[in-house]
Amino acid sequence: RTVSDLVAGGATIVNREIGSGSRMLLEQTLQKEQIPFDAVQGFDNILKTHQDVAQAVVRGVADAGISTASVATAFGLGFIPLHRSRYDLVILKEYLEEAPVQQLLSTLGHRMVHSQFEILGGYDISKIGEVVATV
């Protein structure tokens, strides 16, 4: 359920490269739980992508790694959320009514796009394609 559980259980992980969001999340979580990086088996085993992390777990190279729910689902792996992130697409207000932007927003609001995100899993799409603020 937690990173502490992984360390206590002697699990081997795979990590991401320095500067990646996944690695920063892991490091922040370890610091918050006062776990030294060198106490984590596999901390220095670096991979480049979320898919690489999932493949390492599937192949048995590691017991766990930081990735996204959608990648875990695609690889048939279990997933325990450590953090929720919100991503917004920022568009200058002056371009909001332009045809390409309107087409993008319309596409994002389409039920086919929604169904694809639902299949992937792990995404809150309740406001996808919706203008949530203008300044």
pLDDT in tens, 48-66: 999 999 999 999 999 999 9
- Helices assigned H by DSSP within the chain: 3-8, 21-32, 50-58, 69-74, 99-108, 111-120
8/69 same-domain check: yes
113/60 same-domain check: no
115/67 same-domain check: no
Per the prediction, the chain carries an average pLDDT of: 91
Is the distance from CB of 80 to CB of 1 less than 8 angstroms? Answer: yes
- Amino acid code (one letter) for 47: L
Domain of residue 104, residue span: 86-135
Please give the Cα distance from 135 to 128 (Å, whole number).
19
Calculate mean pLDDT across residues 17-38.
94
Query: What total of structural domains would you count in the chain?
Result: 2
70/99 same-domain check: no
Tokens of 63: 């017991």
17/64 same-domain check: yes
24/65 same-domain check: yes
pLDDT in tens, 97-122: 999 999 999 999 888 998 888 877 77
Radius of gyration of the chain measured on its C-alpha atoms: 18
Global confidence as pTM: 0.75
Please give the Cα distance from 20 to 123 (Å, whole number).
20
7/70 same-domain check: yes
| 133 belongs to a structural domain | yes
Please give the Cα distance from 118 to 111 (Å, whole number).
10
